Amino acid sequence: MTDSVRIGVAGAGVFGAYHAAKFTAHPDAVVAGVFDIDAARANDLASRCGAEAFRNYRKFLANVDAVIVAAPATRHFALAEEALNCGRHLLVEKPLALSVDQADALVGAAKARGLVLQVGHQERYVCAAAGLFSKTKAPTRIESVRLVPKTGRCEDVSVVFDLMVHDIDIIQQLTKSTLCSISAEGDEHEITAEAVLDSGVVVFMRAGRGAYAPERRMTITSDEGVVEFDFIDRRLKRQNGINETVECETDDAPLALHDPLAHGAALFVGAIRGQAQGYVTGADGRACVDWALRIEEAAGLAMPPVVEIRERMRA
């Protein structure tokens, strides 16, 4: 493939605009279409990135090679399923879906058609670039805290699917383990969960979207000491006899540290061209959905209904 990859952005909200900007800046991609059921929003974003605006999803799909699903989470599955059925490569913002059956259907459809299915767990790229995966010894305990002020966005799903899924993905990469037991408490806006994995690792997670100030950090304890990573400051602290603090986001830091969304965009374009690996796969996204559902169940939360938008997409 020598021509630019024609990217379509489904969802013209905040994250749709972020993705559109990254792909507009990519030398091997062009944003060719923007879909949103809100015509004004679609037109506004399309005008900013030199694309065509669509309210009919089928017509939108006919004009692009690949789709970025950046709509509300309750709409991910319907948009993603139809894009794959039309043979389009797919990058779905987290979460991949809201049930394991939905996630399995998307993973299966992508595999059957030989299509790229990438999930937008960008924090994994940050951790990899900071050396969290390569330099951290086998953990015995992991604690994560992810708190943000209230914004009103992403409230179609609980804080587990909105925020905690980032830490679920990172913990799965650190441990390569499965859940043995889980306890959780809270409500749709703040959850604490404690889990024991089959490897014996104990995991404590807290996520909330009503904090006075943002806090995003992870503390990893192993037999050799403690590693703490601050996602906001991009600062890594090690305590293993000699205390050390590493400022990860230096002038020569890799793209994944200072712009993980652009790094993910580059991985997506590369994967479509058969050149890149290391992106978050559909199988990875499916594993996060499984854990998230089990945490919600332990906390007594009900899964929100998937919004039925198929007819509206064809209007």
Q: What is the pLDDT of residue 314?
A: 53
Instruction: For residues 127 and 250, state if they share a domain.
Output: yes
Instruction: For residues 162 and 215, state if they share a domain.
Output: yes
Reply yes or no on whether the pLDDT at 121 is more than 70: yes
Is residue 293 a part of any domain in this protein?
Answer: no
Is residue 287 a part of any domain in this protein?
Answer: no
8 vs 314, more confident: 8
Instruction: For residues 60 and 142, state if they share a domain.
Output: no
Instruction: For residues 128 and 117, state if they share a domain.
Output: no
**3-state secondary structure (DSSP) of residue 293:** helix
Lookup: tokens for 104? 């399995």
End-to-end CA distance of the chain, in Å?
33
Is residue 296 a part of any domain in this protein?
Answer: no
Instruction: For residues 50 and 110, state if they share a domain.
Output: yes
> For residue 211, what is the domain's CATH number?
3.30.360.10
Is residue 237 a part of any domain in this protein?
Answer: yes
Q: What is the pLDDT of residue 231?
A: 94
Instruction: For residues 60 and 170, state if they share a domain.
Output: no
Instruction: For residues 267 and 181, state if they share a domain.
Output: no
DSSP 223: T
Q: What is the band of 275 on the pLDDT scale with cuts at 50, 70, 90? A: confident
Residues whose CB falls within 8 Å of the CB of residue 26, separated by 6 or more in sequence, listed in order? 262, 265, 266, 269
CA atoms within 13 A of residue 270's CA, in its CB half-sphere: 11
Q: What is the band of 176 on the pLDDT scale with cuts at 50, 70, 90? A: very high
89 by Cβ neighbours in 10 Å (0-12 / 13-18 / 19+) ranks as buried
- How far is residue 102's CA from residue 293's CA, in Å, rounded to a whole number? 12
Q: What is the pLDDT of residue 185?
A: 96
Instruction: For residues 133 and 239, state if they share a domain.
Output: yes
Q: What is the pLDDT of residue 3?
A: 86
Instruction: For residues 163 and 93, state if they share a domain.
Output: no
Q: What is the pLDDT of residue 149?
A: 93
DSSP 235: E
Q: Which amino acid is at 82?
A: E
Is residue 73 a part of any domain in this protein?
Answer: yes
Instruction: For residues 202 and 156, state if they share a domain.
Output: yes
Is residue 224 a part of any domain in this protein?
Answer: yes
Q: What is the band of 120 on the pLDDT scale with cuts at 50, 70, 90? A: very high
Lowest mean pLDDT among 86-90, 220-224, 266-270: 220-224
Reply yes or no on whether the pLDDT at 138 is more than 70: yes
Q: What is the pLDDT of residue 1?
A: 46
Residues whose CB falls within 8 Å of the CB of residue 281, separated by 6 or more in sequence, listed in order? 117, 118, 119
> For residue 308, what is the domain's CATH number?
3.40.50.720
Is residue 290 a part of any domain in this protein?
Answer: no
Is residue 249 a part of any domain in this protein?
Answer: yes
Instruction: For residues 20 and 114, state if they share a domain.
Output: yes
Give residue-wise pLDDT tens across range 61-109.
999 999 999 999 999 999 999 999 999 999 999 999 999 999 999 999 9
- How far is residue 218's CA from residue 228's CA, in Å, rounded to a whole number? 6
What is the total residue count of the chain? 315
Q: How many domains does the chain have?
A: 2
Per the structure, the complete domain to which residue 117 belongs is given by: 5-122+262-280+304-313
Reply yes or no on whether the pLDDT at 269 is more than 70: yes
Instruction: For residues 92 and 154, state if they share a domain.
Output: no
Q: Note whether 144 and 217 are within 8 A (CB).
A: yes
Q: Note whether 71 and 99 are within 8 A (CB).
A: no
Q: What is the pLDDT of residue 311?
A: 45
What is the secondary structure of 123-152 as a DSSP string? Answer: HHHHHHHHTHHHHPPPEEEEEEEEE----S
